[in-house]
Structure 1
């Protein structure tokens, strides 16, 4: 057994491919897109390293061509979910006892495989299955996911290195154990990287995991699971179980050995899980760690001193990249009346040039929203705005004849509490409220209190006194706060991501803070020369 202390340097962020015309990277990605588009994959469960085909299946389809099936995936039921828990518990002792450098090596190797030979496969699956453009897939399923793996290993090393002070004759130590039990992870459709992080962050810390991917992201998530297998992840450490969310609640989250829950998704689902755990709190071996990043109603707030050109770019990119299906997407904007005519003209001009369609056409800025339910929800907001005297639809529309396409939509609301200003839509809809310049303080208060969320937000101003005031007044309105930039695009190691209020537990994915949540420390005190007397010196008579 080696007694060397292996030390990793802080990693660099994975470089982003440009996919410019004529580059080998663009040609290779296009070839992989064509290959996957002409292939149907059958995806099993993977429990304890064994592939399981249940016969109860779902379909992975292209959102931008909803008749095109990419894969059939098998779904777990009660039997398979309970077996996944048992498999995770069987794998636990050996996994947590594995020397740290070997456990770390699995995920560092996975990052290099993802950034190298698996890059095109995972990116293409993300593009086709989740309707992401080449750039949006690249920054997600290649770069951010590789960053999650490398930085989380580095952060865990930092935690392990933290040790207490000693006194003469005493050696104090702290060991950082995994949680006592298993971790359940439920991931969303919108970021392949989030799916990969939710299951691997606890595993890096020595936990074993039952992972339910989103049914609309099974293909890319499965390919990432195959990356982990190739990297040498032992059987049962992470168990891949597409299934119904209600079955997770019924058979996984009520198991007495549940030690943690890692989640990204809707506020409603996370609240229901919190309630479920509360109802069963007396039956668990430990108090389960609940870590969740949920909804958002993210804002861009402009001061009268803001520069118009960067403000407009931030609004368009922040609201419409990946069809507004980012937790951080700009979905409400507060624009001063003095700037609104310029902002409106420039913004509508830029939006009119955006192309929407099949993401295999690299000239398209946007693809389709993820499924029929999402399309109908977004359509409802647009239809109601068209009929409301309190709102005006300045541009936008929808068409689901081939794919679930929603055009970039801008609504101007007459009231700061109009429904699309306060309710999460999760689509390419930006609602603008134009406020009188002299009502800055009142409007800041509305921005802070009108919604229950506090995920991301951005302010635009050139006046430094205004920046100070806006930053102070909105200090609790967003866990990720941007000054003169769009409210999207957090980078691992630079802007740890997460929010509070109804937006989650703010445990900052991709940071030291998140890794602490998957660790249960034990302190050890060793006395080299133990005391042999019972009395203390102060007890002696003078």
Structure 2
């Protein structure tokens, strides 16, 4: 059965319209199929070996704690070292594979993932707590990354024809982009397919081999991606799947003298820790390790008095509570000019209270947060918020056999308050008042982060100034601050939000290559 879709004008892969009965039924069937694999065991993949270990990661459905999505074998340092050696050996042959052939594996994987789109989405619904639309968008982005980075590798391999060097009489001069070596890929749990696929695909299509250490809360969906790459014929050892402890396996590999680069997406704290480890030179290391890091955000939306207030309120709620606010791009702050402040606050409160909470597999708008640690942390921040602002929606845990929290909104919050400054990574929104739009922008900029932002206004002069002065890597006007699309919105942020490595952009593959200029005298 073909998937009926609503085609986005920007996305390569269309989004599925779940208002159509046939699509809803197809997703329900995929979820039922995924549930048939509950409690399955998954091995490590090191080269051609599938290794089952006694020590395992237990992946639990955050929306139904009685369900175990899978038991995933867990690597230790000995196995991590084995994977490193396999990756080093494989690199010597993989780096010689023509770029077009490497890209071909990505294109084949994109086709198969497109054919089985609901199967991948269903696993994420059970393992990460995404509803249908959020999971579908995640899978669509994964497909887009495969297609985009495959095309980008073809472009780079043809760079001398498309962007020739300055001619010098008597010389043939060319620029070659060659791979770096073995990299450590550490993706996050909040986009457990899209970012995992994007980071890994970019590295391998550039000619590198990788050690993939998925997030411990979402290792099953990562394993399904690795299985897919094996199915399309990717040579063993190009991707080595080694889930494990960050303290044991992650730190060991980050500090390893043979690690050439680390590609990381996650929190500011972990990112800075990795940065420190990678900066140290281990005995036998002959290069400066490259770090590609996308870290946290404390993103916000600014609304002036000329804005479409209904559109602004809808964007604030969508940005704050999409996937329970568990996005680095989530709009967890909003600054409204005082003349329309009360009106916008009322609209936001009303929309938030309309969000229904429940099981992701039943496609509720609001689902669980990822795990017990996040659950406790977010509830602690809500208590802090009750001292720092005026509670206008939510404010407590929600019913259900999982990590459910009410979408929560605080108004009248000072710009220096903790819930305005610290990344909560959950369904908590803080709203502040500004005397005018310039003060609102200043309040928005008052953060150590700089990932995404939105500005709502109908005044062109104000929009132009906002585009210049709002300090973030991805700035949107009159739309929500989440939902970056591959190729349309290259994604990455400033300051403590990371290295501003623009995923889904035309310069991203350069981070996984090194440029070699060659000159031959004629």
Indicate the TM-score class for this superposition, using the shorter chain for normalisation. over 0.9
Match of 2:151 among 154, 175, 194: 154
In 2, the alpha carbon distance for the partners of 1:279 and 1:98 equals 32
Query: What runs of 5+ residues in structure 2 fail to find an aligned partner?
Result: 1-9
Partner residue of 2:25? Answer: 27
Query: Is contact 2:413-2:430 (8 Å) kept?
Result: no
Distance 1:346 1:445, change over 3 A: closer
Partner residue of 2:398? Answer: 399
CA drift at 1:445: 2.1
CA drift at 1:400: 6.6
Query: Is contact 2:279-2:289 (8 Å) kept?
Result: no
In 2, the alpha carbon distance for the partners of 1:361 and 1:323 equals 16
In 2, the alpha carbon distance for the partners of 1:277 and 1:261 equals 8
Query: What runs of 5+ residues in structure 1 fail to find an aligned partner?
Result: 1-10, 529-542
Distance 1:424 1:522, change over 3 A: same
**Cα deviation per residue 1:500-540 (whole Å; 9 max; x = unaligned)?**
10000011011221100111122211112xxxxxxxxxxxx
Partner residue of 2:341? Answer: 340
CA drift at 1:12: 6.8
Equivalent runs, 1:55-454 vs 2, <5 Å: 55-116=54-115, 118-141=116-139, 143-163=140-160, 164-179=165-180, 181-191=181-191, 192-280=193-281, 283-362=284-363, 364-386=364-386, 388=387, 390-396=388-394, 397-399=396-398, 402-437=401-436, 440-448=437-445, 450-454=446-450
In 2, the alpha carbon distance for the partners of 1:61 and 1:137 equals 17
In 2, the alpha carbon distance for the partners of 1:401 and 1:138 equals 24
Partner residue of 1:533? Answer: none
Match of 2:475 among 481, 488, 513: 481
Q: Which moved more, 1:279-288 or 1:27-36?
A: 279-288
SS of the equivalent of 1:290 reads strand
In 1, the alpha carbon distance for the partners of 2:451 and 2:84 equals 32
Partner residue of 2:512? Answer: 518
In 2, the alpha carbon distance for the partners of 1:497 and 1:111 equals 21
Compare CA radii of gyration and give the structure with the larger one: 1
Match of 2:496 among 494, 499, 502: 502
In 2, the alpha carbon distance for the partners of 1:308 and 1:446 equals 20
CA drift at 1:472: 2.1
**Cα deviation per residue 1:293-337 (whole Å; 9 max; x = unaligned)?**
000000101111111010011011111010001110000000112
CA drift at 1:281: 5.9
Partner residue of 1:464? Answer: 460
Query: Is contact 1:382-1:393 (8 Å) kept?
Result: no
CA drift at 1:182: 0.6
CA RMSD of aligned residues (A): 1.5
Query: Is contact 2:413-2:420 (8 Å) kept?
Result: no
Q: Which moved more, 1:272-281 or 1:329-338?
A: 272-281
Query: Is contact 2:99-2:205 (8 Å) kept?
Result: no
CA drift at 1:168: 2.8
Query: Is contact 2:335-2:443 (8 Å) kept?
Result: no
**Cα deviation per residue 1:439-481 (whole Å; 9 max; x = unaligned)?**
x433422321x2100000000011112212222221xx21000
Normalized against structure 1, the TM-score is what? 0.91
CA drift at 1:401: 5.5
**Cα deviation per residue 1:374-400 (whole Å; 9 max; x = unaligned)?**
0111100111222x1x31111112137
